[in-house]
Structure 1
Amino acid sequence: MHCEYTDRYGYVDGMRRSPATALLAVLLVVCWSSGFVGATLSTQVVPFDTALAWRTIVSAGVLAVIALLRGERVSLADARRQLPLGLLVQVVYLGGVFAAAEAGVPTGTVALIAALQPLLVAGLAGRVTGTSPTPRQLAGLLLGAAGVGLVVAGDLGTGAAPAAAFLLPVLAVAGLAAGTLLEGRWRPTTPLVSSLALQSGVAAVVFAAVAAGRGHLAPPPTAHFWWAVAWLVGLAALGGYGSYLLTVRRSGPTFASALLYLTPPTTALWAWAMFGQVPGPLAAPGAVVCAAGIGLFAGRRRRAVVRSRPAVPSPRAAVPSH
């Protein structure tokens, strides 16, 4: 008898307990957090739309070459599904976060609003993917949200942003949540590299059009800018989005979203190492609370779906009677 914790879409409950999955989770948290650092690096010298245009243009080109070298093939039906995913997960999410930062919304406020994404995914997952969280998992999500609140509490403030600008991170969270749920429901068979290439291509077209319309498409001839683009492409785009998409496919959308609770404290460490920004006094306890929430969420359910294996005939049963 073989017991496995699954939902009706075939996802293993919580996470697959293996070194590979644990390593993938670490990679997701580290690389996703690096995107905030890359945003700071790039917007020090260019507007947000310039940074996003060249991030996605370079990402789409690199990924397309890798996909061709790997001989990956994509059907027209699969390609059509990648278009709305790219619009939601890359265009809406990245555009909302970067535009909010440019409008003056405090970084802590953006992070706190972004922390609603796992709860939004968990609340809608039952209707969309059939992966409703258990009470224990929901408690873990709430605990993780409390930890995020502690980490970013020192950054909260009124700021100079207009009231309408605070809708931008809300829009970003809605886009990421919707794209995550669609990925979980559709479970596309498109190879990972091709998926990222198509999604980045969609984002490149949109962001390049926006930057060109605002007269911001031309890149500055500075090493700082291209260093920032390399950071955004290598760590944030390929590493962050690649590990996020792979985690959604392996462990389901709710667990992948829950890992994002660990990104604010990790971002604080990035900011300290890169820019000398000392984390606030609540960063360390907030990180501990975030980790506790993820641990609570990832615990196994007591109930399992039992899959019976075919019985193997005994040698005696195989002997014909005389």
Structure 2
Amino acid sequence: MHLLLSAAFVLCWSSGFIGAKLGADSAPAGTLLMWRFLPLAAVLVVVAVLSARAAWRGLTARDVARQAVIGALSQSGYLLTVYSAIQLGVSSGTTALIDGTQPLVAGALTGPLLHQYVSRRQWLGLGLGVGGVILVTTADAAAGSGVAGWAYLVPFLGMSSLVAATFLESRSRTRVAPSVSMTIHCTTSAVLFTALAAGTGSLQPPASLSFWVAVGWLVVLSTFGGYGLYWLILRRRGVTEVNTLMFLMAPVTALWGAAMFGEPFGPQTAAGLALGLAAVAVVHRGAARPAGADTTGGPPPSARGRTSGHPLVRPRDGDRRLRGVGRPGR
């Protein structure tokens, strides 16, 4: 059962990149994202009003505002860059791999920013991960797809937005229930994407069947499937298990994109993805906690409903372990 749940989670989460590709030719990114989040936010708000009032008790306006900013960074900013990069022609596999370096980058930055310990082995893992990104990105660019070079910087903007959200969340001392944070994040995204669509004159959805297929794909597979399985596995197996599965997204997405859309997948792409997986193995081997390290941590934050922990972080005694902010459902 565990293997089936893990496989379903990887497929559902990876489906977000594929769904973005499906809708890339039918509508601007803002329109697709608005119609993805408006119905979802409406449902979550109704559920919160009817059955989740207790989870909201004790939250101040400042707590809600902080969660809104975290949602704007980890969900709205991230997804807009992912969808925009794919619409610009960057392959779904390359976008997924760049996104997948977020836990490594954020974990490495905890050293200089939060004064937490990062080992040499873990720095080696970060270097391998960056090398994998370079290999896959250059292979994608060399495939003759006509994508502008600057387009490959767009996913890095999204990854940076996730890192910023991670550090903002790490400084929060308030425990926020996952259902509450997801409701705030999705509502924030619905408002922001509606404003973006209105500002660009693209509020009206296209009549094409492909657009609504993409929206349905994203809501059913990426949001309910990906988010739901994420929390189920997190409760049953813990954050380390989820982190490990997250790093399988890039190779699965690359193979899926190659089979479904004919995206390039040659020896260099395979080598880059292998380097990324090697980075994960190195990082997790170097992330064993020293005796006496604090294990209490904070509650796992949600964003798109998903969180990414930071396997590079080794907390010192008394330090709170930094947890990642979810990359809101692709």
> Could you state the TM-score of these two structures normalised by the residue count of structure 2?
0.70
Instruction: Report the Cα offset of residue 134 of structure 1.
Output: 2.3
1:83 aligns with 2:64: no
Q: Which secondary structure does the structure 2 equivalent of 1:79 belong to?
A: helix
1:138 aligns with 2:118: no
Bigger radius of gyration among the two = 1
Aligned residues: 285
Aligned to 1:155: 140
Map 1:28-67 onto structure 2 (within 5 A). Answer: 29-67=10-48
Instruction: Report the Cα offset of residue 131 of structure 1.
Output: 4.9
Tell me the alpha carbon deviations over residues 16-56 of structure 1, each in whole angstroms, 9 at most, x when there is no partner.
Answer: xxx98x98876664443222101111122112111111112
Given that 2:133 and 2:276 are in contact with CA atoms closer than 8 Å, whether structure 1 keeps it comes out as: yes
1:96 aligns with 2:62: no
Map 1:264-279 onto structure 2 (within 5 A). Answer: 264-275=250-261, 277=263, 279=265
Map 1:228-267 onto structure 2 (within 5 A). Answer: 228-240=214-226, 243=230, 251=239, 260-267=246-253
Q: Structure 1 CA distance, aligned partners of 2:231 and 2:136?
A: 22
Instruction: Report the Cα offset of residue 215 of structure 1.
Output: 1.7
Alpha carbons of structure 1 residues 187 and 40: separation in structure 2 relative to 1, 3 Å: farther
The AA in structure 2 aligned to 1:265 is P
Aligned to 1:315: none
Aligned to 1:305: 292
Alpha carbons of structure 1 residues 182 and 267: separation in structure 2 relative to 1, 3 Å: same
Aligned to 2:328: none
Instruction: Report the Cα offset of residue 162 of structure 1.
Output: 5.7
1:207 aligns with 2:182: no
1:184 aligns with 2:167: no
Gaps of 5+ in 2: 295-330
Instruction: Report the Cα offset of residue 187 of structure 1.
Output: 5.9
Alpha carbons of structure 1 residues 33 and 294: separation in structure 2 relative to 1, 3 Å: same
Percent of matched pairs sharing the same residue: 39
Given that 1:45 and 1:225 are in contact with CA atoms closer than 8 Å, whether structure 2 keeps it comes out as: yes
Instruction: Report the Cα offset of residue 198 of structure 1.
Output: 0.9
The AA in structure 1 aligned to 2:33 is L
> Could you state the TM-score of these two structures normalised by the residue count of structure 1?
0.72
Instruction: Report the Cα offset of residue 128 of structure 1.
Output: 5.1
Gaps of 5+ in 1: 1-18, 308-322
Tell me the alpha carbon deviations over residues 203-256 of structure 1, each in whole angstroms, 9 at most, x when there is no partner.
Answer: 111111111222211112343322211221233334546638996xx648xx97
Given that 1:112 and 1:149 are in contact with CA atoms closer than 8 Å, whether structure 2 keeps it comes out as: no
Q: Which secondary structure does the structure 1 equivalent of 2:202 belong to?
A: coil
1:126 aligns with 2:111: yes
Instruction: Report the Cα offset of residue 192 of structure 1.
Output: 1.1
